[in-house]
Amino acid sequence: MESPIALEELLKSRGTYRDAIGLPPKVYSDPDFFVFEREAVFASEWLCVGREEQVQEVGDYFSATPAGEPIIVVRNSESEIRAMSSVCPHRGMCVTADLDGIDDENMLEPTKFLSGNVRYFRCPYHWWVFNLEGQLTGAPEMKETDCFKAEDTSLENIALEIWNGFIFVNFDINADPLGPSLGKLEKAVRNYDLSSLKTVDPAVIPDVPFNWKIMIENFMEMYHNSRLHKGIHDWAPSAGAPGTPSSYSDFEEGDGAMFGFNPSLEMDGGFNPTYKALFPPLPNLTDEERQRVVFAFVPPTLLIGMQSDSAFWFTVNPTSPETHELSMAYLFPEEVLETPLFDELLEAAIRGVGYFNRQDIPTNIATHLGLSSRFANRAHYSWQEAVIPQFNSWLVNRYEKQMEGK
Ligand SMILES: [Fe+2]
């Protein structure tokens, strides 16, 4: 597949912060490049779509549209979590499309999708019925259609893997498993016991107005922490703490994650108006772990932040070159949810994150505008943002493969 940007230009962004330069600015806004990138990056990588605790009981399901593909994640009758396409094999209607609550005012709006608990999925259009495994079990008035075979008809199966409670899907059913590529991250975050934590206060912002890669870069790089967030980030400076500088993991071919450690000046800091953790520290953390923030990225979609008392996660799902859907939620041990005043303390934590967002989000919007300018430049990076050329390298490897048809 042809890229609208020459490989030679893209290759200048592969490397480390010592040598690589920024991606060609067109990768952040060009519509043709967006189409190319969706194939190169999203068609065969593991995309995080949610958490295990969203589908606890048999029949629990949720809808998602990773890279624009309507899919269903369901706990089937064997109590296994599975993913399948929501696209009815009959005429292309989405079986989980939400037709309730439609009125004259909103009937032209983009499709919304259902989540909940069901015994089967019934396409609202012609009432074809699929079981929780996606197999067609009923199709009215099809008996006279001699060539039609119900037993060969199903919702398309999609590869699914769970890592530490996070549900990933892959449109390439033969993709290599995700888990083995996350060994380094697994080791670094073991004591957070992420699989046991519970998602709290999930929220989705459907049309965040800047390119998805700008969100990733902003979340992962620590360079701006002591500058854009001067004051509110002082408890965890960009450079780290005396004797323990900030650092990023070594990133090598085959690694499925990038992550960085931002040490704090004292133990049990927090992103909230008190700069202190509001909840008890996670039970298995070492003193060193309680004195740092970890930022992790499982490309292309999952961002995780880990601090002494909790974690938070984002998924970044591109919807156009200029927009993405952002979902965000907190993770806490189940017993902490029972603590007195949990809701009030959570409110303070959310306000703290809101403070950051009010600096980061307008910065990202303005950066998107700047990167669309005729004067946009391709600059070198600081060691404090070493993760960006790592991400660029990961991307360029995939862009290159796509161009070479591999
Ligand atoms: Fe920030």
Q: Tell me the two tokens of residue 300.
A: 């292309």
Centre of ligand 1 to C-alpha 6, Å, is 32
Predicted pLDDT at 247: 97
The percent of residues in the chain predicted with pLDDT above 70, rounded, is 100
Indicate the residue among 134, 161, 188 that finishes a domain.
Answer: 161
Q: Tell me the two tokens of residue 247.
A: 């650092």
Q: Is residue 384 left, alpha or beta, with left meaning phi > 0 and alpha meaning psi from -120 to 50? A: alpha
- Does 172 fall in a domain? no
> pLDDT tens digit string along 76-111?
999 999 999 999 999 999 999 999 989 999 999 999
What torsion, rounded to 10 degrees, do the Cα atoms 267, 270, 273, 274 define? -20
- Contact, 172 vs 44, CB < 8 A? yes
Please report the beta strands in 195-301, taking only residues with DSSP state E, as ranges in sequence order: 198-208, 240-241, 244-245, 247-248, 258-263, 292-298
Across the range 289-318, mean pLDDT stands at 97
- Does 169 fall in a domain? no
Centre of ligand 1 to C-alpha 356, Å, is 6
Centre of ligand 1 to C-alpha 346, Å, is 20
Cα separation, 378 vs 83, whole angstroms:
40
Cα separation, 292 vs 44, whole angstroms:
34
Centre of ligand 1 to C-alpha 271, Å, is 11
Same-domain pairing of 208 and 125: no
Same-domain pairing of 190 and 288: yes
Same-domain pairing of 111 and 209: no
Nearest to 328 by CA among 364, 362, 297, 303: 303
Cα separation, 310 vs 278, whole angstroms:
9
- Does 295 fall in a domain? yes
> pLDDT tens digit string along 362-386?
999 999 999 999 999 999 999 999 9
Predicted pLDDT at 406: 67
Task: Name which of 42-56, 155-169, 261-275, 302-316 the model is least confident about.
Answer: 261-275
Residue 332 has pLDDT above 90, yes or no: yes
Q: Which domain holds residue 73?
A: 47-161
Kindly report the pTM of this predicted structure. Answer: 0.96
Could you please report the per-residue DSSP string of 88-154? -TTT--BTTB--TT--TTTTTSPP-B--EE-SSEE-TTT--EE-TTSBEEE-TT-TT-TT--GGG-B
Same-domain pairing of 284 and 369: yes
Across the range 115-144, mean pLDDT stands at 97
Cα separation, 235 vs 277, whole angstroms:
11
Same-domain pairing of 68 and 199: no
How many structural domains does the chain have? 2
Helix residue ranges, H only, 306-379: 342-371
Same-domain pairing of 216 and 348: yes
Backbone angles phi, psi at 287, to 5 degrees: -60, -40
pLDDT band at 353 (very low <50, low <70, confident <90, very high): confident
Residue 171 has pLDDT above 80, yes or no: yes
Return the DSSP state at 276.
B
Predicted pLDDT at 135: 98
Same-domain pairing of 265 and 364: yes
Centre of ligand 1 to C-alpha 226, Å, is 9
Centre of ligand 1 to C-alpha 351, Å, is 15
> pLDDT tens digit string along 181-204?
999 999 999 999 999 999 998 999
> pLDDT tens digit string along 15-44?
999 999 999 999 999 999 999 999 999 999
Centre of ligand 1 to C-alpha 144, Å, is 62
What mean pLDDT is reported for the chain?
Answer: 96
Residue 405 has pLDDT above 90, yes or no: no
Centre of ligand 1 to C-alpha 260, Å, is 14
- Does 214 fall in a domain? yes
Centre of ligand 1 to C-alpha 328, Å, is 15
Same-domain pairing of 242 and 325: yes
Predicted pLDDT at 272: 84
Cα separation, 264 vs 45, whole angstroms:
34
Predicted pLDDT at 404: 93
Task: Name which of 190-204, 224-238, 246-260, 341-355 the model is least confident about.
Answer: 341-355
